[in-house]
Amino acid sequence: MNITIFNTPKTEIHLHIEGSLEPELMFELARRNNITLPFSSIQEIKEAYKFNNLQEFLDIYYQGANVLRTEQDFYDLTYAYLKKAHKDNVVHTEFFFDPQTHTDRGIGFDIVFNGIYRATQDAEKEFGITSLIIMSFLRHLSEEAAFDTLEASMPYRDKIIGIGLDSSELGNPPEKFERVYKKAKELGFKLVAHAGEEGPVDYIWSALNLLEIDRIDHGNTSLNDDKLVDYLVKNKIALTICPLSNLELKVCTDLKNHPIKKMIDLGMIATVNSDDPAYFGGYVNENYKQIFEKLNLSIDDIKTLAKNSFKASFLDNEKKEYWLTKVDEHFASIN
């Protein structure tokens, strides 16, 4: 296996910043903030990272986020992720943060956002990596709570590219948030939503037709509907696929059966992302490597996935074309 194929320029566009909280940093922040963790060691935390479904993961995810208290905590979290992403030759990120996870604990929106944003600016100066920030609503909470969060974000409107929808998918269909998405669209936000991870194909259709999203986060179950596949290909609607996440959450029981190869063969704009890498066993290059091996992907498949990551991004067309050319040059140098 030629490791240089994974050093191609790429974006990562499905990453929850709270999900990049490594056990070592969790312990460090717990000490800093005088918080007692329900774990006695880093190893004990890692052993807890065995999940049977999305909800089991979310329970630990929210528990871990409790150590994030100050602006510096959010800075350190974000900077640590961007440093790791840079090592994986990620040149651009579009990541989520979950304000409600923190504001519901009494942490001010300004504390959360300012720490995150400051880290993106420093990382861009130091590594050249660019970032766009997406604010996610927690779908297990009410639409009224989402409206409150949208209102709280207004002072930072010029620094937040879009809104997303995450947390427990089953039982919380997209139509629950139709009104707040309409308002966000009026305000000029880009629109994305988790759909079709554990939820049915109907959730994807609802996210497209009712929420009018610009791209689909996950979307694994789209392959269950040929009409939907045709629609996504025709309209060039991208999917942000997270292979190791799918494996750990039992969305896919074996990477050898993961749908991403079929997706790119069908002409779908599927991308590779790490989702919550601290919990799921690897950052974006590890996801590329695992599917390369398990699905017997070709170098051309990896090139397609890397190019898809730029096509699916919210970068402007000039920057997309620049990086697409860089990907071509990278693979030409390999050949």
Q: Compute the distance between CA of residue 143 and CA of residue 124 in angstroms, rounded to an integer.
A: 34
Q: Where are the beta strands (DSSP E) in the chain?
A: 10-12, 90-97, 130-138, 162-166, 190-195, 215-218, 239-241, 270-272
| Catalytic residue status for 178 | no
Q: Compute the distance between CA of residue 319 and CA of residue 304 in angstroms, rounded to an integer.
A: 17
Q: 91: how many CB neighbours lie within 10 A of its CB?
A: 22
Give me the DSSP letters along 25-63.
Answer: HHHHHHHHTT---S-SSHHHHHHH---SSHHHHHHHHHH
Q: 261: how many CB neighbours lie within 10 A of its CB?
A: 19
Cα 136–137–141 angle (5° rounding)?
155
Catalytic-labelled residue, pool 12, 197, 198, 248 = 197
**Residue 97's Cα: distance from chain center in Å?**
9
**CA-based end-to-end distance of the chain:** 14
Nearest to 134 by CA among 244, 273, 229, 258: 273
3-state secondary structure at position 125 = helix
Q: Compute the distance between CA of residue 27 and CA of residue 17 in angstroms, rounded to an integer.
A: 17
3-state secondary structure at position 305 = helix
**Residue 205's Cα: distance from chain center in Å?**
20
Catalytic residue annotation: 197
